[in-house]
Amino acid sequence: MRVGARKLFVVVAALGLFGLAACGGGGNDDAKVKSTTPGTAGKVTTTTAPKAFQKTIDGKVWWQTFEISVGQIKAEPQAGGGVNLTIDVNWKNLSDQPQSPPQPALDRDGEVLSLSSSAGQAAGQAGVDGELTGYIAPKQGSAPQKPADVVDSLKLTWGEAGDNQSIVPLDGSDVTTFEPKEVSGLTGKITTPTVVVAVDKGELHWSYASGQKGKFVLSSHISITCGNPCPPSGTSMSLTDFTLTAPGESTPVSPSDDDSDFCCEAVYPGTSSDDPSNTVAFLLDKEPSGSYTLTYKPQTTPPVPGSLKFDI
């Protein structure tokens, strides 16, 4: 090899080695972002994009006629520091009639955030699955949070603040709720000369109305038949004929118009009324306990009342 050719070969080889060194030695560059700091040639910084966060909680609450179970939660970070939130929920309709699931509010330290729901109507005694979705923007004036921290700062709430309220904290801590109770003792018959009232399906639940924090609703279903002997012209009755007396109280409580579906009824010889909507309900100032008396006072002259005693 001539001397001039040997020099050219050495120069080319050196340039090739320099090029390989500049390209780096491999590795997973897809998971990282490299940038050169302005004004500092050659200085490289590496940042990692935030990952989606996912977890499952066991949050079960009751609201109106539904048992509600909150399951998987997913938070996906977005440009600008916000998070797209997806929450899997099952609503179980405990009533016999089709109902639309009650939708919650999303609470962040007292701030109410908007949510959308994919859940449709639930048939009677059936469940329906759905997703709650929403965008959680960063708090104004605060640095963006990690998706896990965003999730842990949120609560699902049914009901308004200051009223009875079911709450599912998304950090997995204890829920706030009241599970409706069957009142098995609220079963039996009230017999009077003019009408016989069969009582069943006793139940106790929270009041879901505004302005009634700490109050409860005690309800039952009634079936009505005419007395024996039944007057040829039949007999009539109304919601106001019923009262409830609490333990140690002398003044009875009248039924709640808002919580009762029964209004009034007339029965005749050979007829009866057993409509599912024949419910009589009482609004109570606190959770009941002890021995109660349900009384029916017929609209007759003179009235001959009948009663049913039961325990809660």
Note whether residue 3 is domain-resident: no
**In angstroms, rounded to a whole number, what is the distance separating the alpha carbons of residues 75 and 132?**
12
pLDDT at 103: 97
Residue 46's DSSP bridge partners are: 34
- What CATH number did the domain enclosing 248 receive? 2.60.40.4170
**In angstroms, rounded to a whole number, what is the distance separating the alpha carbons of residues 221 and 114?**
38
Note whether residue 7 is domain-resident: no
Domain boundary among 169, 204, 219: 169
Domain boundary among 169, 196, 213: 169
Residue 201: which region, alpha, beta or left (left: phi > 0; alpha: psi -120 to 50)? left
pLDDT at 3: 45
165 and 63 in one domain? yes
Over the chain (312 residues), the average pLDDT of each successive run of 10 is 42 39 41 44 57 95 98 95 96 96 96 95 97 94 89 97 97 98 96 92 97 98 90 90 95 97 93 94 97 90 88 96
Grouping H, G, I as helix, E, B as strand and the rest as coil, residue 21 is helix
- The structural domain count of the chain equals 2
Residue 230: domain span:
181-311
156 and 102 in one domain? yes
Note whether residue 299 is domain-resident: yes
pLDDT at 45: 54
**In angstroms, rounded to a whole number, what is the distance separating the alpha carbons of residues 19 and 11?**
13
C-beta separation of 294 from 191 below 8 A: no
Note whether residue 36 is domain-resident: no
304 and 259 in one domain? yes
pLDDT at 21: 42
pLDDT at 46: 53
Domain boundary among 136, 169, 202: 169
201 and 295 in one domain? yes
The 8-class DSSP code of residue 249 comes to: -
pLDDT at 43: 57
pLDDT at 170: 98
- Global pTM reads 0.80
User: Residue holding tokens 């017999």?
Assistant: 191
Beta strands at 306-311 and 105-108: parallel, antiparallel or unpaired:
unpaired
The 8-class DSSP code of residue 299 comes to: S
pLDDT at 23: 41
pLDDT at 48: 58
